[in-house]
Amino acid sequence: MINIKHKLNLLISKQEIEKEITILANELNDKFQGEQISLIMILNGSVFFFADLARKLNMPIKMDTISISSYLGTESTRKVKFHKKIVKPIIENKHVLIIEDIIDTGRTLTNVYEYLQTLNPKTLEIITLADKEGCHEDFKYNYRSLFKVPNKFVVGYGFEIDDLYRQLDQIYTIEDEN
């Protein structure tokens, strides 16, 4: 039994998540048919999305992870710090998909995208599970998100608050405690 410290409201069910990942995987299978791609997972939030998507792809895949942080609890630190970077051979002249849990301010993805561009990929795309509405008007790169979420803190399916709730198989908003 999970000890829930916050009031959680269901936002996206596991069935909705699975359906959208299947649609995305089918599109990627068609787009990259017969090609090898590199999937780059931004740790830790996208771990479930990354795994579920990768299992549905039917082309050769190379996988790696990148670790970067910009949050402390629920607050953005406004500074981005790389903890683990990618090695060039998995990126250079390859079709590369950056897999991220959510686009919030866009700072994390901007830093990752610009870093990976220096490694000379053939193509570079961003795919996020969720897009937080109204939070990143100045984000300049094209991306694909499976879900729009309100400008609230979300947990479950990889999203967490202070390392809690990441393992939940659905996505929830946290009710204001006021």
CATH number of the domain enclosing 41: 3.40.50.2020
Residue 54 located in a structural domain: yes
**pLDDT, the chain, mean:** 88
Q: What is the pTM of this model?
A: 0.87
Residue 1 located in a structural domain: no
Residue 30 located in a structural domain: no
Strand order in the sheet with 171-174: 8-12, 171-174, 154-155
Residue 79 located in a structural domain: no
Residue 140 located in a structural domain: yes
Catalytic residue among 104, 138, 169, 176: 104
Residue 84 located in a structural domain: no
Instruction: Give the range with max mean pLDDT: 48-62, 70-84, 102-116.
Output: 48-62
Structural domain count, the chain? 1
User: Quick check: bond before 29 cis, omega within 30?
Assistant: no
Mean pLDDT on 61-81: 72
* Annotation says 163 is catalytic: no
**CA separation for the pair 140, 111 (Å, rounded):** 12
79 sits in which H/E element: strand 75-84
Residue 12 located in a structural domain: yes
Q: Which domain holds residue 67?
A: 8-23+35-71+89-174
